[in-house]
Structure 1
């Protein structure tokens, strides 16, 4: 009887482990996405103009979303958007809940050990939002509280650039900006393109500015699972084609052109990384 019970338990455990193995992320995302007919992307949903909820359509729109839609179209599948934060996006990818990250994600060596990146599809630099006239140099932020988002490269960069500062990490950048408005921090730091989006939407934006103080370069990549070569190659080929056809520039102009709230110069082209 004891032997039978042990055998039954072993069979149950084998079944559970078998199901766990089935739930693992696909080894070939490209084939799996084509098979299921849906590309699931992790995106921001409160960060204009990269990813935010449009008030009229109640759908997520933005620069990152246009790239995902273009990749999904090339694949001949639908795009499904899942909101992620800076801290949750890599775990969501690695656990197989999403197929790709398109969420203002800076490529760096530390992250590249854990996931694979596409070629750079957006390029910016890390700066600050401060009260107008309050900050002229990095010296003015020494010993001050500076807000940013958890799990972002901005956290590490500002600690290196201003070691005497106290970095307060929030769930997202709008929360950090609220802390600035309330006088709880002296500045908010992240990539200039994100800061421009936050400031453009602020009702009291005349009280704030982005001083010309850059502390790092920030190349954005689309994130995919480590070793997922077929999918990475497909995404890279697609965004290089988008650059060649002018579609990538058109998307930039749509969100950052001179007639937009977020006007920036396009000082990059999508090229194959060396």
Structure 2
């Protein structure tokens, strides 16, 4: 009996045993297709990407539509899981979501931790300031306190673009914005769409804000996935490219960010692999 136990232990500690263990775990694509469900991590409340509809309380937004369209393209049922900004990477790594579509910008650090899909658009991180400071440059904010959402590329851009900039971080963009309105910071870094929203909402008020013309950073946005799952990543990229070719991505873009929306952004880039883009990745 003792001999048999030793032999069994040897069998599963050798190459054959490792092979059997590997086969016992289906890859992510097989798992997703078996349960016929795609679990997407999205923002809990960030307009216009994913936020509760005021009437129905159901999540709506650009990233919600992207998750739904991608799931349909892959023949799966979409399931949305609301996430905080800082939880996006950890939820993917721990397998609690299949992928994250939450305005996730590529950085070197994130690229080491998770896999990125093809970039479906590129955006800017910008500095939102009081209207009186609109004509200033980034150099004028040297050593100043600047707010941002914790764990975001907005936070990282402060260290990259403002000399001796002191990042003051908050759990969400709304709190970071409020810090600027309460004069606790000299500026607030966020993505271009959110900055446009806040500048429009404050126009004509005593707390009117403006977007500094000099951008903090340029960054490609993609879906985040676990590393070591090439079949799943290929399926996601295939779905995204099909959405681009069919015009479905254009419809989603125009619905949330296009010329007839408050953001007025005309889409000019096609979905493409990160390797084909010219950009300086953030750390």
1:99 has 2:94 as partner: no
Matching residue of 1:74: 73
Structure 1 runs of 4+ off > 6 angstroms?
Answer: none
Q: Distance in 2 between matches of 1:71 and 1:83?
A: 17
8 A Cα contact 2:70 2:243, kept in partner: no
Q: Label 1:252 to 1:159 Cα distance change in 2 as closer, same or farther (>3 A).
A: same
Residues 1:182 and 2:182 are matched in the alignment: yes
Does 2:204 correspond to 1:169? no
CA distance in 1 between partners of 2:60 and 2:120 (Å): 17
Provide the C-alpha distance between the structure 1 equivalents of 2:105 and 2:199, rounded to a whole number of angstroms: 21
Q: Would the aligned equivalents of 1:27 and 1:228 in 2 still touch at CA under 8 Å?
A: no
Residue in 1 aligned with 2:195?
Answer: 195
Residue 236 in 1 paired to residue 237 in 2? yes
**Structure 2 match to 1:210:** 211
Cα drift, residue 71 of structure 1:
1.2
Distance 1:120 1:205, change over 3 A: farther
How does 1:151-166 map onto structure 2 within 5 Å?
A: 151-166=151-166
Q: Deviations over 1:78-114 (max 9, x none)?
A: 2111111221111111111111011111112221111
Looking at structure 2, the residues matched to 219 and 129 of structure 1 have their Cα atoms a distance apart, in angstroms, of: 20
Distance, in Å, in 1 between the alignment partners of 2:154 and 2:238 is: 29
Q: Does 1:265 align with 2:266?
A: yes
Count of equivalent residues? 250
Partner residue in 2 for 1:124: 123
Cα distance, 1:137 vs. partner?
0.8
Q: Distance in 2 between matches of 1:43 and 1:187?
A: 26
Relative distance call for 1:31 and 1:221 in structure 2 (3 A) is same
The 8 Å contact of residues 43 and 83 in structure 2, kept in 1 or not, is answered as: yes
CA contact (8 A) 2:42 2:64 kept: yes
Q: TM-score if structure 2 supplies the norm length? A: 0.82
**Residues 48 and 198, structure 1, Cα contact 8 Å, conserved in 2:** no
Q: Say whether residues 1:28 and 2:27 are aligned partners.
A: yes
The gaps in structure 2 that reach 5 residues or longer are: 1-24, 276-283
* Alpha-carbon distance change, 205 to 89 in structure 1, aligned in 2, over 3 angstroms: farther
TM-score by length of 1: 0.85
> Matched residues in 1 for 2:206 and 2:271: separation?
32
Q: CA deviation at 1:272?
A: 3.5
